Amino acid sequence: MREGSGEGLSANAAPFNLPSPDPSRQREGREIEMHIRPEPAERHTLAVIVDNEPGILARIAGLFTARGYNIESLTVSEITHDKAVSRITIVTSASPPVMEQIMAQLDRLVPVHKVVDLTVEGEHVERELALVKVAGVGEKRIEAMRLAEVYRGRVVDATTSSFVFEVTGSFQKIDKFVELMGEVGLVEVARTGIVAIARGRDAA
């Protein structure tokens, strides 16, 4: 029987007629290819207020990987004098049902005080800071300096053949600035990731 003829099952023959399974699910000998379908997603910025205990960042980041959620940006820092509470800003993209799950799953973690979806709660401000190192001499060096002025970058380090610019703004602005620097001697970039806060007088 291990050869698998399927016989021997006839002893189990049904004594009555009943709805049979959907035949489209069983295709003898035909190969039906399967493809992974991507899900539509929209971008959300979350503020997660947590107890600042060891492992909290791994707990949150790990939740995202374990459940297959995206992280586009994640920043964290202590926000109280006693360093007991941290604020984590997460930028993720997900479909609305997955977004609802992300919120619920984060909220379920024991050390989490509060989870706020800034994108749906109302208007908010997002900022990112980048340090951008550019090397070059002559015309390229002058052009880098000019562009930095346009982008309100500050020079925080300089040698005769290089600059480090500090530039702050939306992630789109920083993307654009870094792209431009690529043409005038970009060496490396360090970015903080996005922090965000709700507009108006109330806490999120």
Residue 159 engages another protein in binding (rule: CB under 8 A)? no
Secondary element (H or E) of residue 148: helix 139-150
CA distance 51 to 113: 7
Return the number of the residue (20 or 160) whose C-beta is nearest another protein: 20
Token digits of residue 131: 């340090």
Return the number of the residue (7 or 123) whose C-beta is nearest another protein: 7
Cβ atoms 167, 129 nearer than 8 A? yes
The piece of 50-58, 123-131, 148-156, 183-191 that touches another protein (CB under 8 A) is 50-58
Q: Which of residues 88-147 bind another protein (CB under 8 A)?
A: 97, 100-101, 104-105, 107-108, 110-113
Residue 58 engages another protein in binding (rule: CB under 8 A)? yes
Task: Describe the strand order of the beta sheet including 85-94 as a list of residue ranges.
Answer: 73-78, 85-94, 42-51, 112-117
Closest separation between CB of residue 117 and another protein, Å? 14
- Site track for another protein across 8-27, x = CB under 8 A: xxxxxxxxx-xxxxx--xxx
Amino acid at 154: R
The piece of 61-69, 118-126, 148-156, 170-178 that touches another protein (CB under 8 A) is 61-69
Helical axes 96-108 vs 56-66, angle rounded to 10°: 150
Cβ atoms 106, 48 nearer than 8 A? yes
Cβ atoms 43, 95 nearer than 8 A? no
Q: Which of residues 164-203 bind another protein (CB under 8 A)?
A: none
Residue 150 engages another protein in binding (rule: CB under 8 A)? no
Q: Which residues bind another protein (CB under 8 A)?
A: 1-6, 8-16, 18-22, 25-34, 50-51, 54-55, 58-59, 62-63, 66, 97, 100-101, 104-105, 107-108, 110-113
